[in-house]
Structure 1
């Protein structure tokens, strides 16, 4: 009987000791969350897209609250309004946020791009790229299987009847998921008000590029010659826009000399006089 009572008191004593130990440890080791984090999370749209460079909205909010991040304008879905609210709440310098949208830099549609074979593999751009390179003659252009569309968490993309992905700019938050999903790096995030683009990624020489795509850049350099000094360059048979603002100012002049239409004015500005 004494053994039973002794064991009972021992168990109670140990339980009390470890209970007190846990309470003290909890108080000593507890991480007190800055109340500003919750407020910042209320301001953020909660997209958790990762476009800010953090794992999600909580990561960005914590970095801002702790002072590790001082840029209140990194939330692409929130845009200027969210940036203004965060800067006001935290007392940070106001920043100007340029709205970005995804842009598919390829016009190699079913009509424009020649097929070299029938692709019967898994309908995935990434799979096609690392196996048979798809069915197009161009190994730089859009594969057309819609990995980017599947990756978009906002329903801002769809596959067009011409075989190319389309971006619904009103829904696009510039989260960058489509950019990550494209194995050929033909999708870029660009300012929504930018007008002129080189819709081609081919590095092949002119005759070769022209043989498999009607609208390929053939590296003639005419656009570069007609652009302001230093605004464009020709490298590896492909034209590049270095200073978009300057090129936009002479858009019609630059676009008008392209023999294939590889460099063009964004369709939403097609009827707007830009020069």
Structure 2
């Protein structure tokens, strides 16, 4: 018995010694092979909003900071949430000229609330839009509309979105940075970015033909082209049965959007921020 204990102590002592030796070797190797990080990278990272939204095209703020400091081809104005103030700071720190960042905000291209959109089936699965979309395209008859399960709300890194009782997201204009994180997670591509100050927006995402679209949702765009014909500036085009507004042309040339009165379903409305889509007419 005594021999067994002694043998065990010897093994333990050997293993401990080996552990200490390997630890010292690793510590020495780490010190010798350590890569010195440019301190400017951390300085640039500190001025970024830390939303980790990926709007810049990089995997988080640290990755963008490293790229803009070390790569002369990476511009300093890629941080959309930071807007012009951050772009100027990053430009000053890196010695690069910062072009203006166009302020933008998320818009929900759907007004199909619980009362306006027809249901095709009942969904009782995981409360996630991506999961619901995998099951027959979701519970709505319109396969282009918002599923209303709040995946975009959960993904927003700035807390700028809430779900309304009507089943549609509401964008808080004071918190939305235009980072487009919500746009990337929406399986229906219902959310898009629009310039701050846009006059009108189309509260629909359906590409179904008129009769089919109207049957699925009472406020859908039916592709009648009346708004297109009414716009004298050519700011509205039809894209596969759906009206699409060129916000820049509309903002630059039109101060009286008469197209609104022509839409028979009220799918095209004033771009009023911070409300449930489709309520623009009542709050104007």
What range is the shorter-chain TM-score in? Answer: 0.7 to 0.9
Matches within 5 A, 1:6-21: none
1:47 is displaced (CA, Å) by: 2.1
Q: Match for 1:263 among 268, 272, 276?
A: 268
Residue 165 of structure 2: SS of its match in structure 1?
A: coil
Q: Match for 1:131 among 135, 144, 148?
A: 135
* 2:257 pairs with 1:252: yes
Going from structure 1 to structure 2, the CA distance change for 1:25 and 1:235 (only over 3 Å counts) comes to closer
The answer for the alignment partner of 1:222 in structure 2 is: 226
1:92-126 per-position Cα deviation (integer Å, ceiling 9, x unaligned): 11311112221111001122212233323332211
Could you list the runs of 5+ residues in structure 2 that have no partner in the other structure?
A: 1-16, 275-279
1:165 is displaced (CA, Å) by: 0.9
Going from structure 1 to structure 2, the CA distance change for 1:126 and 1:24 (only over 3 Å counts) comes to closer
* 2:194 pairs with 1:190: yes
Residue 212 of structure 2: SS of its match in structure 1?
A: helix
CA distance in 2, matches of 1:99, 1:54: 20
Going from structure 1 to structure 2, the CA distance change for 1:22 and 1:112 (only over 3 Å counts) comes to closer
Matches within 5 A, 1:90-129: 90-129=94-133
Q: Match for 1:154 among 155, 158, 167?
A: 158
The answer for the alignment partner of 1:180 in structure 2 is: 184
1:221 is displaced (CA, Å) by: 0.5
Q: Is the 8 A contact 2:56 2:64 kept in 1?
A: yes
1:69 is displaced (CA, Å) by: 4.2
CA distance in 2, matches of 1:47, 1:54: 12
CA distance in 2, matches of 1:141, 1:25: 54
Q: TM-score, normalised by structure 2?
A: 0.81
Q: Which runs of 4+ in 1 moved over 6 A?
A: none
CA distance in 2, matches of 1:257, 1:96: 36
* 2:159 pairs with 1:170: no
1:224-261 per-position Cα deviation (integer Å, ceiling 9, x unaligned): 112245422223211122x3222241552122211111
Q: Is the 8 A contact 1:70 1:92 kept in 2?
A: no
Residue 264 of structure 1: SS of its match in structure 2?
A: strand
Going from structure 1 to structure 2, the CA distance change for 1:121 and 1:89 (only over 3 Å counts) comes to closer
